């Protein structure tokens, strides 16, 4: 067995993680992983590469950079709000990924507002600490230009995420209370758990019924959640998604959606629901 074949399983999560953060798509990331594996096998000197992990991440980033352009073009015609494809990261996850805040739903959404070079520069620097010289090879720019791209991306993200996310323990407490209130259909308790300016975003992609616009205001959000739950007999189950506690949504025993939430100052500030069936296959093995 070659050195590459021996080390590939250990490096695959980093390859997938880089591709997923850059594209926001599990399907695209899986395709990129396959492309990287094929290219590595075709590379005559692959077993002599000094830093194999860095080489693989660089190849994945180049491919993801190419894919990102077409992915953004597809989103122009997307029906309704677009949300990142969720990734199950619990013990039964089919695709492990190196996890940090750059893989969270809120961060992936903010990164959608970056230019493709800014997004690649931010991901490779923030999540993988790739040197600017190596980043220059990926983007075809000078190291100085890449430094500026990464710096500009950090400033944009800091401006778009002004509220400090809740600590893990506080987040889990709030979401546990939300789950309990949701099961009881307790409107008053749900209102207490939502920030007055909370938003609710649903992504159906035109394939299933979903709101075409973001719903704003705690009262309107609670009304929408309870109306849909009563009509469709939905049940939410806590699960690790994108590296943190979120919810899988079930209808008649089958996975119907994935819910994610942002928590700050003891309340939910944003609630999102991915309903598009095309974004759920990677979670399809999970059933309750």
Region of residue 129 (phi > 0: left; psi between -120 and 50: alpha; otherwise: beta): left
Q: State the Cα–Cα distance between residues 63 and 41, nearest whole angstrom.
A: 16
pLDDT for the residue 288: 37
Q: Using N-to-C axis directions, what is the helix angle for 26-42 and 3-23, rounded to 10°?
A: 150
Q: Which two tokens stand for residue 46?
A: 């692959």
Burial of 97 (0-12, 13-18, 19+ CB in 10 A): buried
| Contact (CB, 8 A) for 211 and 80 | yes
Q: What are the per-10-residue average pLDDT scores of the chain (288 residues)?
A: 88 93 92 96 88 94 91 82 88 60 86 95 94 95 97 94 84 97 96 97 93 96 92 88 91 92 95 94 50
pLDDT for the residue 281: 67
pLDDT for the residue 263: 95
């Amino acid at each position: 067995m070659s050195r590459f074949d021996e080390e590939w399983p250990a490096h695959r999560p980093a390859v997938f993680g880089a591709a997923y953060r850059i594209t926001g798509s599990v399907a695209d990331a899986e395709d990129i992983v396959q492309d990287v594996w094929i290219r590595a096998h075709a590379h005559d000197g692959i077993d002599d590469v000094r830093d194999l992990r860095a080489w693989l991440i660089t190849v994945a980033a180049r491919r993801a950079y190419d894919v990102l352009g077409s992915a953004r073009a597809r989103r122009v015609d997307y029906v309704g709000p677009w949300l990142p494809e969720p990734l199950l990261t619990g013990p039964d996850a089919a695709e492990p990924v190196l996890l940090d805040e750059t893989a969270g739903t809120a961060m992936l959404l903010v990164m959608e507002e970056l230019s493709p070079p800014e997004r690649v520069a931010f991901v490779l620097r923030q999540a993988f600490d790739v040197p600017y010289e190596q980043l220059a090879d990926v983007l075809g720019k000078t190291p100085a230009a890449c430094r500026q791209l990464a710096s500009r991306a950090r400033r944009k993200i800091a401006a778009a995420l002004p509220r400090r996310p809740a600590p893990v323990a506080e987040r889990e407490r709030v979401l546990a209370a939300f789950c309990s209130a949701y099961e009881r259909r307790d409107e008053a308790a749900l209102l207490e758990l939502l920030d007055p300016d909370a938003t609710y975003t649903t992504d159906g992609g035109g394939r299933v019924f979903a709101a075409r616009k973001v719903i704003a205001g705690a009262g309107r959000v609670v009304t929408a959640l309870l109306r849909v739950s009563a009509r469709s007999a939905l049940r939410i189950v806590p699960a690790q998604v994108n590296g943190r506690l979120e919810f899988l949504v079930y209808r008649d025993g089958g996975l119907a959606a994935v819910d994610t939430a942002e928590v700050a100052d003891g309340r939910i500030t944003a609630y999102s629901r991915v309903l598009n069936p095309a974004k759920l296959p990677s979670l399809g093995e999970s059933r309750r």
